[in-house]
Amino acid sequence: MRGAILAAARSEFAARGLKGARVQAIAERAGCNKQLLYYYFGSKDGLYRAALESVYADIRAQEQGLELGGLPPADAMAALVGFSFDYLAAHPEFIGLLNHENALGAPHVRASRAVRETNSPLVDLIASTLRRGVADGLFRSGVDPVALYISIAGMAYFFFSNRRTLEAVFARDLSASGAVAGYRRHVVALAMAGLLRCGKGR
């Protein structure tokens, strides 16, 4: 039951934010009554924090499953870009929660030790892959791994996060599987071309 409440909370908070979400709606989705949420999580805010931590825990688990050390740097980097894209494609709730949390100024993420420690493994992975690629004479040097992570994630994140307005202003269906796949190729190509030294790897 606790798990069901948490899952319902993730959806509801992702869709409507902390204040916009309705305790009643979460209870209904979870198939229980409101008071049980208080029994388990103390308050709406407590439930929100738990939901937020649970999505960060999930992405951390997935990232730690990545085994790219054995791959050549270019393949490893392409896999990383693809993973970032695919994870966001598969987890719209993660995007919704982050957007609302950022709108609030991210106080809960700041306050949560568990969350703060989440993304480091991915940046480490990027840093080491970059180093290997530079050492091989394959990648441009001087690329900041954090900046690279942000730009790679941003290309995918913005596509999914702002899909509805983009569809409206460009009069394009960006939800069709073909459109998503096409954009994924574009992102991987742009990122790889942006990293590779000329004359190499193509």
Are the C-beta atoms of 5 and 47 separated by less than 8 Å? yes
CB under 5 to 8 A by kind: which of DNA, a copy of itself, none does 44 bind?
DNA
For 170, the enclosing helix (H) or strand (E) is helix 163-170
Distances in Å between the alpha carbon of 75 and those of 49, 134, 188?
Answer: 37, 14, 11
CB under 5 to 8 A by kind: which of DNA, a copy of itself, none does 164 bind?
a copy of itself
Tokens representing 21? 């979400």
CB under 5 to 8 A by kind: which of a copy of itself, DNA, none does 32 bind?
DNA
Q: Which region among 38-46, 98-106, 138-146, 182-190 touches DNA (by CB under 7 A)?
A: 38-46
Tokens representing 165? 């307005």
How far is it, in rounded angstroms, from Cα 87 to Cα 83?
A: 6
Judged by CB under 7 A, which of 7, 15, 17, 23 binds DNA? 23
CB under 5 to 8 A by kind: which of a copy of itself, DNA, none does 50 bind?
none
Least Cα distance to 37 among 53, 45, 183 occurs for 45
- The letter for the amino acid at 38 is Y
Number of residues that bind a copy of itself (CB under 8 A): 63
For 184, the enclosing helix (H) or strand (E) is helix 177-195
Instruction: Tell whether residue 197 is a contact of DNA (CB under 7 A).
Output: no
Q: Which residues bind a copy of itself (CB under 8 A)?
A: 15-17, 19-20, 96, 98-103, 105-106, 109-110, 115-116, 118-120, 123, 140, 143-144, 146-148, 150-151, 153-159, 161-172, 182-183, 186-187, 189-195, 198-199, 202
